Amino acid sequence: MEEALDFFSSAPTLDEMPRRTLADTGIDGPTAAHVIEEVHTPFNLAYLTFTTGSSAFQTIVGVTDRESAGRTAVAREIFGRQKHGRGGRMLVTYPPLVNVFANEALVECGIEWSLLKRSSRDALLVAACKTAPHVILGESSFLRASLEQARSLGLQAQMPKGCMLLVAGTPLDEELLPVAEAFGYTVHDLYGCQEFGWLVLNGRTLRDDISLVASPRGEPYRELVVGGLPMGDSFVISAAGHVCDRGGEIITYRRERTYPEYEVVVTRSPAQAASTVEKTARTILRIKSRIVKLSPGLELGAGATRLELVPSVADPEAAPAAPITIEGPQATALFDLLVAAQKDMQTLAKSDPTWVKRR
């Protein structure tokens, strides 16, 4: 039996298992906030990443293969708007930001990216002077402090010319703008998250399935909803425009956490089985940290998905607020994509023969 196991078994040993490294996902750079730990990653996820931890502990996020095409389309939109085509060089200051794009998206867009040798301002200045990137991607206050350091060290002439700064991860530090202008750099404000990718550039949306709905915070805020799933962030909407683009009305640097947050209730679905929608809801909770529930009167086999947003905490002294309705197919595209990913997973039996479930 032992000889047969060694020669004929189709089940892999640990050494024979496929390995996906940091280099495979394009984030093989240093950070001062993490350790490197091997994990088993299920085949039904394209890759694992994690939230920034700006409002709670950093949380593991799963990205499905079905999401890759959408992230690639957004990457094309970002670089297309700034006229950076194939062969553009991007210096990334914080490796996990690559995950918001997905390295596959950057490869398909023809963007070459490099990472810092060390997670520090000195490392950024050395890399910028040596590699002359067209784009630098990073947190705005870090970039501002780095440029101020370059100026104080007399390195301004050695820094790359005509660079574009893509700022992300935290609200825009507006003090960066005059510092960047002195270097001849343009600043562009990206808003998004690891769960759903980049969503807004300079106050303009990057996807067709983004909705702006009334926020529990009241005027002048609006809650941003992507594909039917609320972000938990509310923004000022202003006709005066974004500081980086007066045509962009979503003021992403005037962000407030939405409270109480919205929960999602599914009232209609094209799915034929309620169990598929229920499993999708659980999957979204586990890999996207969004609460989705099924209506007791869920209509199956519908022509399009209908979702209702309701505050997670009701004011006992106020009249019940009417739910906000999100009608598909366009406005619920992301939710429907995750339903499709759930169906994909259900059609594939677990390939590990030691995993046996009995009811």
Q: Would you give the distance in Å from CA 348 to the centre of its chain? A: 27
Residue type, 28: D
For residue 27, what pLDDT is reported?
95
Biggest CA pair distance of the chain: 76
| Class of the CATH domain delimited by 63-201 | alpha beta
50 torsion bin: left (phi>0), alpha (psi -120 to 50), beta (else)? beta
CA gap 275, 337 in Å, rounded: 16
Token duo for residue 155: 């390195």
Three-class secondary structure of residue 192 per DSSP: strand
The per-residue pLDDT string of the chain (359 residues; one tens digit each, 9 = 90 and over) reads 989 888 888 788 889 899 999 999 999 999 988 899 999 998 889 999 998 877 778 889 999 999 999 999 999 999 998 877 788 999 999 999 999 999 999 999 999 999 999 999 999 999 999 999 999 999 999 999 999 999 999 999 999 999 999 999 999 999 999 999 999 999 999 999 999 999 999 999 999 999 999 998 888 999 999 999 999 999 999 999 999 999 999 999 999 999 889 999 999 999 999 999 999 999 999 999 999 999 999 999 999 999 999 988 766 666 667 899 999 999 999 999 999 999 998 887 666 666 665 54
d(CA 322, CA 311): 10
Exposed e or buried b for every residue in 119-140, given b needs 16+ CB within 10 A? bebebbbbbbeeeebbbbbbbb
Nearest alpha-carbon partner for 102 in 128, 78, 136:
78
Q: How far is CA 148 from the centre of its chain?
A: 29
pLDDT value at residue 312: 82
Number of Cβ atoms within 10 Å of the Cβ of 269: 27
Domain boundaries, the chain: 63-201, 262-347
Contact present, 271 and 300 (Cβ < 8 Å): yes
b (16+ CB within 10 A) / e for 308-330: bbbbeeeeeeeeeeebbebebee
The first and second tokens of residue 154, run together, are: 């007399």
Query: What pLDDT does 322 receive?
Result: 82
Question: Rounded distance, CA 33 to CA 28, Å?
Answer: 14
Quote the pLDDT of residue 5.
86
DSSP result, 135-165:
EEEE-HHHHHHHHHHHHHTT-GGGSPSS-EE
Number of C-beta neighbours around residue 62 at 10 A: 21
